[in-house]
Chain A
Amino acid sequence: GAGVSQSPSNKVTEKGKDVELRCDPISGHTALYWYRQSLGQGLEFLIYFQGNSAPDKSGLPSDRFSAERTGGSVSTLTIQRTQQEDSAVYLCASSLSISYEQYFGPGTRLTVT
């Protein structure tokens, strides 16, 4: 079946602009996660959604970052007033529920110039 998809695959933006990154999880997966990975670094947790529960936003680095998940499916990660340090690969993952293994999308490579 279809895996996790993300769009765009690459995004180049100017400092100060807003960007939106999209994630389509695997159908039927109730849990959805966003991570950030800088070059040569591990995965940095940003936020996760589990069903209708309030999302865990504890990993968001600043109030410029926000995410929503509409209808329990597609999720959008928004970064406002982008900074150069926001440049990274943003990975989305989904799982049947929080107790199960996560399946990752291909990521969005964000470059802030």
Chain B
Amino acid sequence: GQNIDQPTEMTATEGAIVQINCTYQTSGFNGLFWYQQHAGEAPTFLSYNVLDGLEEKGRFSSFLSRSKGYSYLLLKELQMKDSASYLCAVRGGATNKLIFGTGTLLAVQP
């Protein structure tokens, strides 16, 4: 089966940098996604990694190490609006479906 672990909650300060980690176990890995979900809203796509390395997209970057089963999402120049849940999701397994972690609730403080 598939298993995804990420911290439940994190707190950071406006303007700072925060790194949200995700570890996973899966057979037949076929990509890792990060989604952002504000309270009461649907998840929105942030990033996709299928090869090792860093993918940068503006203030957000995502890193993947397939050999370690590890990814992180890096948020720079934090803004209050970045307060949200960040969901790590892995595609793999026998049916190649996307399995989501329980999410990391990030609180950005002034």
In the complex, are the beta carbons of B102 and A91 less than 8 A apart? no
Taking a contact as CB atoms closer than 8 A, the residue among A41, A59, A102 that contacts B45 in the complex is: A102
**Interface size class for chain A?**
20 to 34
State the total of A-B contacts with C-beta under 8 angstroms. 44
Count residues of B near A (Cβ-Cβ below 8 Å).
21
A103 CB contacts on chain B under 8 angstroms: 45
Instruction: Report if A104-B42 is in contact (Cβ < 8 Å); known contacts: A43-B87, A58-B95, A99-B31.
Output: yes
Interface residues of B in 78-110 (CB under 8 A from A): 87, 89, 91, 95-103
Residue numbers of B with Cβ under 8 A of A are 30-31, 33, 41-45, 48, 87, 89, 91, 95-103
- A–B complex contacts, Cβ < 8 Å, 29 sampled: A33-B98, A35-B100, A41-B102, A42-B100, A42-B102, A42-B103, A43-B89, A43-B100, A45-B97, A45-B98, A45-B99, A48-B97, A56-B95, A56-B97, A59-B97, A91-B42, A98-B91, A98-B96, A99-B30, A99-B31, A101-B33, A101-B45, A101-B48, A102-B33, A102-B45, A103-B45, A104-B44, A105-B42, A107-B42
Residue numbers of A with Cβ under 8 A of B are 33, 35, 41-43, 45, 48, 56, 58-59, 91, 98-99, 101-107
